[in-house]
Homo-oligomer: A and B are copies of this chain.
């Protein structure tokens, strides 16, 4: 047996016990006549002591040769420490070692195995197995497990059944790109890896399973943006015989349970907001409502003077930055420069200082008087000491710019507190969104989303106005879940495919099985999917999903540790009926 106890376990009550411990050498202190070793494992650190007088000579000698990250096993006696360490759970005791076995040696690791390491991102990814030895990474992985099992037990108790859907499915060129898998046994044919189990979960509802969930890997072959992974994990859920209200209640229940069980936070009822309201108030469909700075639309109180910039704008909109009047001129200029960067693309910013004495000083005093500015303060909710920031222009672009500014300022002002949780349902999403590139409407959620009752007719005349039975769950400014009530009859589904530009042959080839299924008594159904990576990161008070994934890929989609992807054998290619078609 390698150990009788782990390294986080021994206490004063264990003094005089003979124990066997195993683990990694965190560090050694060699004073000649005495050697101390910090022995580490997943559970903690226990101090070992070797001393000239009490330790056999050959053991003492071996101890002086231990290097960082050596794997050792020791036998010894638990003794009371002379200088106790109240910061360590095992800090009252140490082990007087009588036997020492080196189980494995270690080269000097390329970075320190400490909470704060000297290793950069690239190095840590290449040696991820060493990075995982660091407590913050290890704790993140354990945290992820706790969240996942809490989800499973909650849903299971609520009558949901976890069903495994297939990974080798069929490619559907709609939506993001699929990863495909050539079939050896079916020449010239390919499986695709699922972007989500969407159609399968709907078929499970047709199959009468009633309440389904699955924690499942999904795949998207996209050009990776920061913090996106080609493989990611969803909590995928579907229910039959439900309306939107039933789903919101069911998954508000799940999220409340997680916040309570994982974070000890109780939230009574999640606020709800329509998509239109979210866009008007926050310029964003996933607003962070942990703080204010709500948008105030100023068209009515800013387009009556000679300031053409505003007069020609579709939207004039501002936010009141709490305490922003303390910003120096230089700080405000920096803000304006930040807004003008191509990523944001604003042309400039108008601002109003709200002085403590109730007067205003604006960058457009030439055009607006104190009465005007008082109205702006009223609309944006600005108080003395605040700074009003105003942008104008095209409605959608301006909202996006002001939303970016709002988030940027909140970050700077420390308003995005990681231990505060502000969930929000955003409902009534548009069914379609306009795609600039292809110059047509696309399904905002996916082609299986049901329009709101009675709105199907609008498709012909005013497609952008059609609202869907679609909803997102937002937590601290991140979309953590999204879903919809689905179409469940063949005619409507066919109409939708037709509207989205599928020929009936394409619709049949790709989704014929689903439309067939709808002919055999499909029940009304709907669902939601949570992004587990993101959810875990946010519950963990962080925003980088990579820190919660054991073996993430880099931004080029590579696993730098195992060096994948990689070329394959010519024989393998031949068996798969493939040839490489290099461009260069």
Contact = CB atoms under 8 A, between A and B. Distances in A.
B221 A184 contact: yes
Contacts of A461: none
A193 interface: yes
Contact of A168 (B173, B231, B574): B231
A468 to B, nearest CB: 19
Copies per complex? Answer: 2
A329 to B, nearest CB: 46
A567 B190 contact: yes
A566 interface: yes
A105 B521 contact: yes
A415 interface: no
A128 B171 contact: no
Given A204-B132, A207-B130, A185 B557 contact: yes
Given A519-B106, A520-B130, A577-B583, A561 B513 contact: yes
Given A24-B521, A132-B209, A488-B104, A181 B181 contact: yes
A204 B189 CA distance: 36
A206 interface: yes
Given A133-B207, A200-B550, A573-B581, 19 more contacts: A2-B241, A22-B241, A24-B523, A40-B208, A107-B520, A131-B207, A133-B208, A164-B233, A167-B167, A171-B566, A177-B184, A181-B181, A184-B221, A187-B580, A187-B584, A189-B565, A191-B565, A199-B562, A578-B579
Interface stretch (A146-154, A295-303, A352-360): A146-154
Interface stretch (A87-95, A137-145, A265-273, A340-348): A137-145
A208 to B, nearest CB: 5
Interface stretch (A48-56, A155-163, A276-284): A155-163
Contacts of A246: 1-2
A181 B566 CA distance: 10
18 contacts: A41-B208, A70-B521, A104-B523, A128-B207, A129-B203, A132-B208, A138-B207, A149-B156, A164-B550, A168-B565, A170-B559, A170-B563, A190-B568, A192-B568, A199-B562, A200-B550, A513-B562, A513-B563
Contact of A217 (B148, B167, B181, B520): B167
Interface string A176-189: 01111111111111
Interface residues of A, number: 131
Nearest to A163: B550
A552 to B, nearest CB: 8
B2 A557 contact: no
Interface string A1-25: 1110010000000000000001110
A141 B574 CA distance: 38
Interface in A309-337: none
Contacts of A259: none
